[in-house]
Amino acid sequence: MNSTHLRKCLSLFATGITSIVTKNKSKFIGITVNSFSSVSLNPPLVMWCIDKKSSSIQDFVKNKNKYMIIFLSRNQKKISNQLASSSNKFDKKFYKEIISNSLGYLDCAMYKKISAGDHYIILHKVIKCKILSPKSPLIFYNRKYNS
């Protein structure tokens, strides 16, 4: 199968956008992800996939850190772009900005990682969830933001 054609076809599936954030010592590390999905209510499990070539692989896969999965709102395109670049380390002020304009978030712990081709499937157990005041979501469709 032609992978360019496959990517084009997969881009027909519209998704929301999440910022997945963890901490290494005092530094925050974040990555923009649209492969997020809910998996189970009992126990509460969610999943996302990370490219094995990601420069953040150590922070997201090899450590047993706590994770936060933040659902972005339509006015957070800039944050999505920033966390999709390789300069994805940031300070507490920026972290607070991601949270305060988001739709809500999950506090998670690592549950399991599964190797799947060129990605890892990361399963997290949800420890806490927070719904913030209602806003419209940031949508990704056909390789473009579509809010």
Ligand X SMILES: Cc1cc2nc3c(=O)[nH]c(=O)nc-3n(C[C@H](O)[C@H](O)[C@H](O)COP(=O)(O)O)c2cc1C
Binding residues (CB under 6 A) for ligand X: these are 17, 31-35, 48-51, 54-56, 83-86, 88, 140
* 8 Å CB contact between 36 and 46: yes
Between 51 and 91, name the residue whose CB sits nearer to ligand X. 51
In the complex, minimum distance from the CB of residue 124 to ligand X, in angstroms, rounded to a whole number: 14
H or E element: which one contains 48? Answer: strand 45-51
* 8 Å CB contact between 20 and 30: yes
In the complex, minimum distance from the CB of residue 42 to ligand X, in angstroms, rounded to a whole number: 25
> 20: which residues sit within 8 A by CB, 6+ positions away?
30, 31, 33, 36, 48, 60, 67, 68, 69, 70
Between 20 and 126, name the residue whose CB sits nearer to ligand X. 20
In the complex, minimum distance from the CB of residue 77 to ligand X, in angstroms, rounded to a whole number: 10
Between 42 and 142, name the residue whose CB sits nearer to ligand X. 142
